[in-house]
Chains A and B, each alone.
Chain A
């Protein structure tokens, strides 16, 4: 007996198992909840349904009812309500759950239909898996193995199509591999709002292309590569670089803006090969911006800071850190923290500021938001600085009061955590007046002028957490080791705090979080270890009145706009 479902739920029967799903759930998703895979190519949960690949064909039926009395017709043999099976297979992606819907995903009819579709998809497919980047993560490869017949009846000439079309600056198309599922077309139109892709020619000769005179150049073009179920759309950057099965996946966060898109970093033997989005339905769905994917290039950049130095001369780490400690202990210190540091680093920066009895400042970094997944605030963690108490008000773009203090001779030492002070408005003359201690990843005018340079790690080389524009605490993990000899940023900061407070300060994430949870009220219940993969929403009310610069993006409405809407 089927239990009466909750009001908004409908009970469907898939392969003999009942499941209650919300109204409007399609059969593919309902089956997924039962652990049953209905293979598909064109269907994507975040795009409109096209129903063109025909891979998700299933057998479907509805409980039989007497047309006149609407009374259920009971099968005498089984004592159960008879099911009227539709004689033709139906597509699962466009079939929504309705009360009493019965589905067979593995009946002879469904199997035969899948085998047919698989054979059809393969006859004009080049079968160049040995040289295809998609091999190993290719739906066509997987489904052909799982649902194909395993032999070919095709003896004709295959269709010939362009093999390396540059659709845009970052995407290369191999048209022969394309199965015309139209995911990329729908993505460009519906998510990227840049309707540049389409098909030309007819039938099996249909070819994916850009509209004449246009390019797939938008900042989301690489998502088409991710959602391409085959190896047709390839990333020009990643193409032919590495087999995907050799790559290690590490969850990370896109640090290009306060959206904090969830990412996956793919690396092998300490080298990052690509960055792809990681699904988080509350933040970025399954998308991310191209600009965020290119950030891994900074790891091996030529201007990377690789050695500790004092007075522009290479020094041992201990010597450089001791010199920095001396400068801090000499007093008249100003601290420039960073909205790009992790929550943990910001916490330690605050500890340092507290110990020195100064207040830290941050540099704001504002650009134009694209209303999708790049917000106006290009610092990924300004809210982290608010939460940890490093700052109380929103940062400015220029360090005008610091400049005035330097001019007035009130400041002798400036500690900069990764911020280029000249870019923030300090002149070379002002920098020359003070001793700069610079913790940073890359060379810039500030590191050139610094008294002490302490190399730091990129987001890919360390673990930590960030607070995005939704006040969602999200963690990132270390994907690759940092440059040889460079200490973790937390160790560096803890050493500096220790030098000032003359004590030992925890620098590993586990013990540090115990301190953070004890001292930072909004994070009282959190630890790095128990943070969910999709992040933890913090209570934002203490900062609700602050005029944040972000506009609307995917899954985010600014508080002010929400109030007026």
Chain B
């Protein structure tokens, strides 16, 4: 079956020749019209549209956006803040960056609509510290929008006022965890907070109710309000509505970002038809479907079980290539859609060495606050580094698994899962490679092997 055509909703103008990131160009393409119309509607109606749309957060966890908004404490009398999580740092993910670089006004419009819907008077865009270019673009775009009275006091005579500030991140992966982000925004170390009691919807920024949404999620809000929540559900598949952007990297002919209706394309179509298949003379070995913390999939394995189609339960028997790219299907087979970062590895990759790389990242990024992640992530890194650079032992596979199993579910934030899932899944799927590595390591390297980090 050939792959369906891309459905570019968010990325409609990305890489479009002649499309610039200034306000004039955005207005020329119908920009801020949705916001103007939205401001004439009651906020509750807008929230309802988002709830109806079934929009799920695009940051990684896939939490329904409408539900998140409905959890916000609106009775406390405290101001409500909205934070745009633009701290895109999950390895393999590069979608928010393009939105901010090439279409910043789309984000601002989506943010303003969301602020209006939630009666937010102040929004912050927390942008990753390593994206100074994006920050400058956003600052310029907000200044333009403010000059045109699209942001700021009494927007377009609607009596509604809202400010947006760009805050540059502190240069750490953990700053993207929502409570860590809030701490960082408050000027502290980005140590995630304990939940309970510090749920952002109740005790967020400055102990006020706070909404934290991903860049892409807020852009979707603009389109939902434009077309209506009902119409939005027609895109994608039930419970996985809208489009998803896949950032494909690694060993494919045409890596890049592709936007498709959620669940309408399978992994095989994405990699073979859209991305041109494996590099010449190579075969696919493994793929991580949703950013480096998602559990890895091994080509050749089968996923079997029952799934719900409409009201019926039907059997499925999928290979990696057959898995539809949506939150639920990927969760069903034991991994996750995550942030949409698809990392492809072909047969030239040694899985021990790949894991050593991932572990190095997570041990470097653990904030160090709580014990299992702090000690476990570094321990796993030390083991895989030792395996790769020094003395691998047969029992290291079991040890790695033992260490990884002691982390998830016991930490303050989801970083515990993020740092242990790669190790758990690599060992589960490629256990032999880990067990035999101490032998394989002795064999001569191919001449064209890349140096290890």
Which residues of chain A have a CB within 8 Å of any CB of chain B?
49-55, 57, 87-89, 91, 94-95, 112-113, 116-117, 119-121, 123-124, 153-154, 156-157, 159, 179-180, 198-199, 201-206
Q: Does B364 contact A (CB under 8 A)?
A: yes
Q: Mark B402-427, 1 if CB is under 8 A from A, else 0.
A: 11001101111000000000000000
Query: Which A residues lie within 8 Å of B382 (CB)?
Result: 156-157
Q: Mark B364-384, 1 if CB is under 8 A from A, else 0.
A: 111111111011111100110
- Taking A49-B194, A52-B369 as contacts, is the C-beta distance between A202 and B172 under 8 angstroms? yes
Contact B370 A53, beta carbon cutoff 8 Å: yes
Contact B372 A120, beta carbon cutoff 8 Å: yes
Q: Which of A91, A95, A123 contacts B375 (CB 8 A)?
A: A123
Query: Which B residues lie within 8 Å of A154 (CB)?
Result: 379
Smallest CB-CB separation from B383: which chain A residue?
Answer: A156
Q: Does B197 contact A (CB under 8 A)?
A: yes
- Taking A52-B412, A124-B375 as contacts, is the C-beta distance between A180 and B197 under 8 angstroms? no
Query: Which A residues lie within 8 Å of B197 (CB)?
Result: 94
9 residue pairs A–B, Cβ–Cβ below 8 Å: A52-B370, A54-B370, A116-B410, A117-B372, A120-B376, A120-B379, A124-B378, A180-B374, A206-B368
In the complex, A112 Cα to B386 Cα: how many Å?
27
Contact A91 B194, beta carbon cutoff 8 Å: yes
In the complex, A263 Cα to B160 Cα: how many Å?
61
| The 8 residue pairs across chains A and B that have the minimum distance between CB atoms | A116-B406, A206-B368, A120-B375, A156-B382, A203-B366, A51-B194, A88-B409, A204-B378
Q: Secondary structure of the A side of the interface?
A: loop
Contact B399 A153, beta carbon cutoff 8 Å: yes
Contact B363 A204, beta carbon cutoff 8 Å: yes
In the complex, A434 Cα to B376 Cα: how many Å?
77
Q: Does B189 contact A (CB under 8 A)?
A: yes
Query: Which B residues lie within 8 Å of A123 (CB)?
Result: 375, 379
Contact A204 B368, beta carbon cutoff 8 Å: yes
How far apart are B196's CB and chain A's nearest CB, in angstroms?
6
- Taking A49-B194, A88-B409, A94-B197 as contacts, is the C-beta distance between A117 and B371 under 8 angstroms? yes
Smallest CB-CB separation from A49: which chain B residue?
Answer: B194
Contact A120 B406, beta carbon cutoff 8 Å: yes
In B347-406, the 8 Å CB interface with A consists of 363-372, 374-379, 382-383, 386, 399, 402-403, 406
Contact A202 B366, beta carbon cutoff 8 Å: yes
User: With contacts defined as CB atoms under 8 Å apart, how many contacts are there between chain A and chain B in the complex?
Assistant: 99
Contact A201 B372, beta carbon cutoff 8 Å: no
In the complex, A117 Cα to B374 Cα: how many Å?
11
Beyond the given A112-B406, A120-B374, please list 19 additional residue pairs across the A-B interface where CB-CB is below 8 A.
A51-B370, A53-B370, A54-B370, A89-B409, A91-B194, A94-B194, A116-B410, A117-B372, A117-B410, A120-B406, A123-B375, A124-B378, A153-B402, A156-B379, A180-B374, A203-B374, A204-B366, A204-B374, A204-B377
How far apart are B59's CB and chain A's nearest CB, in angstroms?
21
In the complex, A49 Cα to B193 Cα: how many Å?
11
Contact A205 B370, beta carbon cutoff 8 Å: no
Q: Which of B196, B363, B365, B410 contacts A54 (CB 8 A)?
A: B410
- The CB with the most chain A CB atoms within 10 A, among B191, B382, B410, is that of B410
Query: Which A residues lie within 8 Å of B363 (CB)?
Result: 203-204
- The CB with the most chain B CB atoms within 10 A, among A51, A54, A55, A94, is that of A54
Smallest CB-CB separation from B373: which chain A residue?
Answer: A203
Query: Which A residues lie within 8 Å of B411 (CB)?
Result: 54
Smallest CB-CB separation from A86: which chain B residue?
Answer: B409
Query: Which B residues lie within 8 Å of A94 (CB)?
Result: 194, 196-197
Query: Which A residues lie within 8 Å of B378 (CB)?
Result: 124, 159, 203-205
Contact B386 A116, beta carbon cutoff 8 Å: no
In the complex, A54 Cα to B370 Cα: how many Å?
7
Contact B372 A116, beta carbon cutoff 8 Å: yes
Query: Which B residues lie within 8 Å of A203 (CB)?
Result: 363-368, 374, 377-378
- Taking A120-B371, A153-B402, A157-B382 as contacts, is the C-beta distance between A51 and B412 under 8 angstroms? yes
In the complex, A489 Cα to B189 Cα: how many Å?
56
In the complex, A119 Cα to B376 Cα: how many Å?
10
Q: Which of B369, B370, B406 contacts A119 (CB 8 A)?
A: B406
Report the count of interface residues on B (CB-CB < 8 A): 34
In the complex, A116 Cα to B364 Cα: how many Å?
21
Contact B410 A57, beta carbon cutoff 8 Å: yes
How far apart are B445's CB and chain A's nearest CB, in angstroms?
24
Smallest CB-CB separation from A156: which chain B residue?
Answer: B382
In the complex, A94 Cα to B366 Cα: how many Å?
22
In the complex, A199 Cα to B194 Cα: how many Å?
18
Q: Which of A54, A117, A199 contacts B189 (CB 8 A)?
A: A199
How far apart are B81's CB and chain A's nearest CB, in angstroms?
23
Query: Which B residues lie within 8 Å of A88 (CB)?
Result: 409-410
In the complex, A113 Cα to B372 Cα: how many Å?
9
Contact B409 A179, beta carbon cutoff 8 Å: no
Query: Which B residues lie within 8 Å of A49 (CB)?
Result: 194
Contact A202 B410, beta carbon cutoff 8 Å: no
How far apart are A303's CB and chain B's nearest CB, in angstroms?
49
Query: Which A residues lie within 8 Å of B371 (CB)?
Result: 52-55, 117, 120-121, 179-180
Smallest CB-CB separation from A124: which chain B residue?
Answer: B375
Smallest CB-CB separation from B402: which chain A residue?
Answer: A153
Query: Which A residues lie within 8 Å of B403 (CB)?
Result: 153
How far apart are A111's CB and chain B's nearest CB, in angstroms?
12
How far apart are B233's CB and chain A's nearest CB, in angstroms?
25
Contact B379 A180, beta carbon cutoff 8 Å: no
How far apart are A249's CB and chain B's nearest CB, in angstroms?
31
In the complex, A89 Cα to B189 Cα: how many Å?
26
Smallest CB-CB separation from A159: which chain B residue?
Answer: B378
Query: Which B residues lie within 8 Å of A87 (CB)?
Result: 409
How far apart are B56's CB and chain A's nearest CB, in angstroms?
22
Smallest CB-CB separation from B173: which chain A residue?
Answer: A202
In the complex, A201 Cα to B196 Cα: how many Å?
26
How far apart are B191's CB and chain A's nearest CB, in angstroms?
8
In the complex, A527 Cα to B157 Cα: how many Å?
80
Query: Which B residues lie within 8 Å of A202 (CB)?
Result: 172, 364-368
Query: Which A residues lie within 8 Å of B191 (CB)?
Result: 52
How far apart are B331's CB and chain A's nearest CB, in angstroms?
16
Smallest CB-CB separation from B403: which chain A residue?
Answer: A153
Query: Which B residues lie within 8 Å of A199 (CB)?
Result: 189, 368
Contact A180 B369, beta carbon cutoff 8 Å: yes
Query: Which A residues lie within 8 Å of B172 (CB)?
Result: 202
Smallest CB-CB separation from A51: which chain B residue?
Answer: B194
- The CB with the most chain A CB atoms within 10 A, among B375, B378, B409, is that of B375
How far apart are A129's CB and chain B's nearest CB, in angstroms?
19
In the complex, A202 Cα to B407 Cα: how many Å?
18
In the complex, A112 Cα to B408 Cα: how many Å?
13
How far apart are B45's CB and chain A's nearest CB, in angstroms?
28
In the complex, A473 Cα to B411 Cα: how many Å?
47
Q: Which of A51, A95, A157, A206 contacts B374 (CB 8 A)?
A: A206
In B290-347, the 8 Å CB interface with A consists of none
How far apart are B313's CB and chain A's nearest CB, in angstroms?
23
How far apart are B381's CB and chain A's nearest CB, in angstroms?
9
Smallest CB-CB separation from B363: which chain A residue?
Answer: A203
Query: Which A residues lie within 8 Å of B194 (CB)?
Result: 49-51, 91, 94
- The CB with the most chain A CB atoms within 10 A, among B189, B368, B371, is that of B371
Query: Which B residues lie within 8 Å of A57 (CB)?
Result: 410
How far apart are B333's CB and chain A's nearest CB, in angstroms?
20
In the complex, A112 Cα to B410 Cα: how many Å?
11
How far apart are A107's CB and chain B's nearest CB, in angstroms?
14
In the complex, A186 Cα to B372 Cα: how many Å?
21
How far apart are A237's CB and chain B's nearest CB, in angstroms?
30
